[in-house]
Amino acid sequence: MASPLTPPPPPSLLQTSSAISRRSLLLLSSSSLSLPQPPPVDTTITDRVFMEFSLCPTFSLCPTSTTPLGRLVIGLYGHLVPTTVSNFKSMCTSSAYKNTLVHKIFPGQYFLAGRQDLRESRGQVHPPLDFLSRNIETVDSKAFLLTHSRAGVVSLCLSENDDDDDIKLDPDYRNVEFLITTGPGPCPQLDSKNIVFGTVLQGLDVVTAIASIPTYKPSEEIQQYNDLASFLGDKRAENARAMWNRPLKTVYISDCGELKVTKTSLPPSLP
């Protein structure tokens, strides 16, 4: 006697299941195809500038006994952020960046230069900078598409800006402080907050040399005390933190300018 067999499901259920499966696949495929693809970021290098860096043995500008560190050649993304690029290039060609300090170095991350100061101290950029255009790209989301993914990324410093607060409150304020990533890894904490507008084409060894300069780093006990003072609203804590990561030797931009090339538009670089 034959053993009883489980009867197969009705044909209608098989057809329904098959139909639903095919329909789901079609809907998924069509929806994925209909999603708009973001346009590629235009990182065509439209301009090139150079910056030469020098080193003094103490934290003060010394016209003699300086040690040249070398030259950076920086490619600028003029199609992506034209105003930011134009202002940076103007700062280089007008020598406004000349003799300004690298005022902060964050080991393994980036260094800052181009800080503005109202006082007539040496090594700072001094306002007014009325020859620069007002930069509306600082509020344009498209200007923040590129990331700080590697060493040699050049970025307009917004979130890490160290300019005097009195300068920032001026309605004619122009942001010219910039940072350059030093590697070896990316700096995701800078993404979507600062405008990447260029890349180091030549001179990454100079970037590495600047990154290796020792900086002031407080002890853990002082850092904890500072955190407590900041929590209690003591403004002296912020003034004390301004000294952190300051290089113990003077690094400054000894010369800068534009590099003219035969072709005004160079091949795209990696973002």
Is-contact 102 113, C-beta < 8 A? Answer: yes
The DSSP result for 73-130, as a single string, is: EEEE-TTTSHHHHHHHHHHHHTTTTTT-BEEEEETTTEEEE--B-SS--TTSB-S--T
CA-to-CA distance for 154 and 91, rounded, in angstroms?
15
**Per-residue pLDDT, 4:** 54
Q: How many CB atoms neighbour CB 128 within 10 A?
A: 10
pLDDT of residue 198 exceeding 90: yes
| pLDDT level of residue 217 (50, 70, 90 thresholds) | confident
Asked if 101 contacts 249 with a C-beta cutoff of 8 angstroms, the reply is no
Tokens of 26: 């079609």
Q: Is 149 exposed, middle or buried (0-12, 13-18, 19+ CB in 10 A)?
A: middle
The residue assigned the tokens 């230069």 is 113
Mean pLDDT within 177-183: 97
Give me 177's structure tokens. 């402080």
Given a cut of 80, is residue 72 above it in pLDDT? yes
Average per-residue pLDDT for the chain: 82
| pLDDT on residue 103 | 93
Q: Is residue 271 pLDDT above 50, yes or no? A: no
Residue range 26-41: mean pLDDT, rounded: 60
SS (H, E, C) 15-65: HHHHHHHHHHHHHHHHHHHHCCCCCCCCCEECEEEEEEEEEECCCCCCCCC
220: DSSP letter: H
Given this model, what pLDDT does residue 17 score? 46
User: Phi and psi of 168, rounded to 5°?
Assistant: -65, -25
- Give the predicted TM-score (pTM) of the model: 0.78
pLDDT in tens, 111-147: 999 999 877 667 889 888 989 999 999 999 999 999 9
Q: Residues near 105 by Cβ (< 8 Å), separated by ≥ 6? A: 111, 112, 182, 210, 211, 213, 215, 245, 246, 247, 251
Tens digit of pLDDT for each residue in 4-23? 555 555 555 445 444 456 65
pLDDT tens digits, residue range 244-266? 789 999 999 999 999 987 554 55
Q: What is the pLDDT of residue 84?
A: 98
CA nearest neighbour of 68 among 55, 50, 49? 55
Of all residues in the chain, what percent carry a pLDDT higher than 70?
69
Mean pLDDT of 150-161: 96
